[in-house]
Structure 1
Amino acid sequence: HMRKSKPVLVAAGLIWMMIGGYYVMNDIPKLTEHAFRHNLLEFSELMLFLLVAMTYINAMEERRLFDALRVWMVRRGFNFRTLFWLSGFLAFVISPIADNLTTALLMCAVVMKVGQGDKEFINLSCINIVVAANAGGAFSPFGDITTLMVWQAGIVHFAEFFSLFFPALANYLVPAVIMSLFVKNKKPAASDEVVELKRGARRIMVLFLITIATAVSCHSLLHLPPVL
């Protein structure tokens, strides 16, 4: 198995070499250099932003915030249908902040623990979570790599993303309503598990939200790169 990043990097390098060779033959090498530096800067800003965001997500996972969420869902005594809607709603709400892929992975892990081997519930819930995470990520610049790129490049302003909220909500609710009809109305096995948050868990969550707010403010008000 080969990571797809490797052939992509090789192909990108070869493409830039061909472009550079063409412009050198036409005596305009500076144009290629300018274009390459511009693209490199954009991707560097994107990588730095994602690096910070994923560090926060991993830190919150390590501090057991998501384990606490799972235990809370089980101890509340919700039935499978309620858990189906709750997990989907949380995915829809979290994905605009934490990106759709990360949200889907984390929430699916929670559902697999809660479902405790009920394959039908787990399958339907995971599908629902993926749909919800993708729908929720569409109306936020942080919800997906593509929305982040267009926001970072200034093509779409931060406030303009919210015009997609109702279409995104509809995209989540329509399949969710249909799938919920096939979710059994029974409760998962009770659990006495207790999860204590590690020290600093809440502070990390607050700092993450402050970081997001700072990135939005710097980009929207000061016209600085969101990596700040």
Structure 2
Amino acid sequence: MEAAIILVFVIGYLAITLEHNLKIDKLIPALVMMAISWALIALGLESFSQWFDSEAYSLVEGFVGLSSEGKMVLMEESLLHHLGKTSEILVFLLGAMTIVEIIDYFDGFSTIKDFVKTKKKTKILWIFSILAFFLSAIIDNLTATIVLISILQKIVKDRDVRIWYAGLIIIAANAGGAWSPIGDVTTTMLWIGKKVSTGYLIGYLFVPSFLSMAVPAFIASFLPVFKGNLEIEEEVKEKKKSKFSGTMLYLGLGAIVFVPIFKMVTHLPPYMGMMLSLGVVAVFAEIYSSSKFSMTDTDFEESDAHAHHSPVHSSLSKIELPSILFFLGILMAVAALESLGILFGFAESLKETLPMLGTELHHAGVSDLVMLLLGVGSAVIDNVPLVAASLGMFSEPIDNELWHFVAFSAGTGGSMLIIGSAAGVVAMGMEKIDFFWYLKKISWLAAIGFLVGSAAFMVTRTLF
């Protein structure tokens, strides 16, 4: 039965990558893969020899000896646990997307667009890469990608050029998320699990992460697509801008930045802070909307959506729900593999095959190779279950260099494939980026950044 579940995952994964060839939206195979995987688990529950407890990051003792009812209860608890963790991400994502759409409703991103005075493609590349790097460390790589691609859509009208920028934003956002405890789901897991502390995480990973962003951006600046200037469409200026655009931009971004502060103060999950931020932004949006559309300026045209709906209703109607459902399918399908202990078993087999693992880790060698393989694995599968498996595998103390290498590899390695990170999945949905286009055009840049950053980490870890 395990072989059947792995086969379903592989077929579903291939269907997602061949989306444009099959002419089937990627969310369909993701949802089907999720449902069939869990159905097979339910039907073959008696035949499984092990079960992975994601909360304890270890295999359940005495699973084989449990009764049928006991195994069913354990499966339902695991399913609820994974759905809960996935829903935390999805609700967080919904809140962030809605805030971004409310900002856009008031033409807020035109304020940043006005700041970008240059038309030179290479300068815009560096501006967005550096913005993504630091913004993702503050508001997490997922939200930073949403915000920056939304701004990018206002500045770069040619989609063929824009998806190149989006690819570099994914690399920069994942690099920025790796050195901050709130920048990526995996670093947050390690931080909450008391494996890394904020000071050492920044000390170990800031330089390697910066190089993972800067080296690909530097190489990309010599590519033909980034030569010359952007063509700016002047006709956009004919539309009157809302007088509240700047206010809503700063309010919206400030509300997103408030989320990690709320988490640190209350210790509640990030989605709670995001819902509070959304509520505050929505209140101001409702107040400002009546002022926005009662202006006597006859040059301002209000659309039907603006005239008949509140800003919140209008913004919610524009959210990319297919991306949300795709994310649900992917994460829950991976959770099925995780629950059966398949990923954990793979990690254990690595440990047995490579006995040097767990010896003195500062000696370069096989242990470094395993961490590099973890980075590649996070691109192919998903970094969350791989980090979860590593938490159960290793017993090194807090701030051991192993944990920081895990954080770096899992965070930046996901950039090598577009479906290897949350930032990539969101960008794929927002810009309809083809899997194979990304593989041909961007993956090699991400791989170079990952290898350079890894080499830099091997140097910086000797300083601590």
Q: Return the TM-score normalized by structure 2.
A: 0.40
2:173 equivalent to 1:125 = no
Paired residue total: 222
Q: CA deviation at 1:51?
A: 0.7
Cα distance between partner residues in 1 of 2:160 and 2:271: 41
CA deviations over 1:47-79 (Å, ceiling 9, x no partner):
235413531342233222895334533464213
CA deviations over 1:56-114 (Å, ceiling 9, x no partner):
34223322289533453346421322211111112222223444345335433433432
Determine the structure 2 residue equivalent to 1:61.
101
User: Percent identity among equivalent residues?
Assistant: 22
Residue pair 1:218, 1:226 contacting (<8 A) in 2 also = no
Q: Secondary structure at the match of 2:94?
A: helix
Cα distance between partner residues in 2 of 1:125 and 1:136: 16
| Equivalent of 2:77 in 20, 24, 37 | 37
Cα distance between partner residues in 1 of 2:156 and 2:270: 39
Determine the structure 2 residue equivalent to 1:180.
221
Cα distance between partner residues in 1 of 2:63 and 2:113: 65
Q: Aligned partner of 2:100: which letter? A: M
Cα distance between partner residues in 2 of 1:149 and 1:46: 14
Cα distance between partner residues in 1 of 2:197 and 2:83: 19
Determine the structure 2 residue equivalent to 1:15.
41
Cα distance between partner residues in 1 of 2:261 and 2:86: 17
| Equivalent of 1:170 in 193, 203, 211 | 211
CA deviations over 1:103-144 (Å, ceiling 9, x no partner):
335433433432333845x35423321211221222335444
Task: Flag the structure with larger Rg.
Answer: 2
| Equivalent of 2:177 in 126, 132, 137 | 137
Q: CA deviation at 1:205?
A: 3.7
Determine the structure 1 residue equivalent to 2:258.
210
Cα distance between partner residues in 2 of 1:226 and 1:82: 34
Cα distance between partner residues in 1 of 2:255 and 2:154: 28
Cα distance between partner residues in 2 of 1:72 and 1:216: 29
Q: CA deviation at 1:170?
A: 0.5
2:215 equivalent to 1:189 = no
Cα distance between partner residues in 1 of 2:106 and 2:205: 28
Structure 1 residues not aligned, in runs of 5+: none
| Equivalent of 1:4 in 30, 33, 48 | 30
Q: CA deviation at 1:6?
A: 3.0
How large is the Cα RMSD of the aligned pairs? 3.8
Cα distance between partner residues in 2 of 1:211 and 1:118: 32
Residues 88 and 200 of structure 1: is their aligned pair in 2 closer, same or farther, counting only changes over 3 Å?
closer
Determine the structure 1 residue equivalent to 2:425.
none
Q: Return the TM-score normalized by structure 1.
A: 0.72
Cα distance between partner residues in 2 of 1:227 and 1:168: 26
Q: Aligned partner of 1:110: which letter? A: I
Q: Aligned partner of 2:227: which letter? A: K
Determine the structure 2 residue equivalent to 1:91.
132
Residue pair 2:259, 2:270 contacting (<8 A) in 1 also = no
Cα distance between partner residues in 2 of 1:65 and 1:137: 28
Residues 142 and 4 of structure 1: is their aligned pair in 2 closer, same or farther, counting only changes over 3 Å?
farther
Cα distance between partner residues in 2 of 1:66 and 1:171: 35
Determine the structure 1 residue equivalent to 2:327.
none
Residues 13 and 148 of structure 1: is their aligned pair in 2 closer, same or farther, counting only changes over 3 Å?
farther
Cα distance between partner residues in 2 of 1:66 and 1:145: 31
Determine the structure 1 residue equivalent to 2:461.
none
Cα distance between partner residues in 2 of 1:157 and 1:217: 19
Q: Secondary structure at the match of 1:4?
A: helix
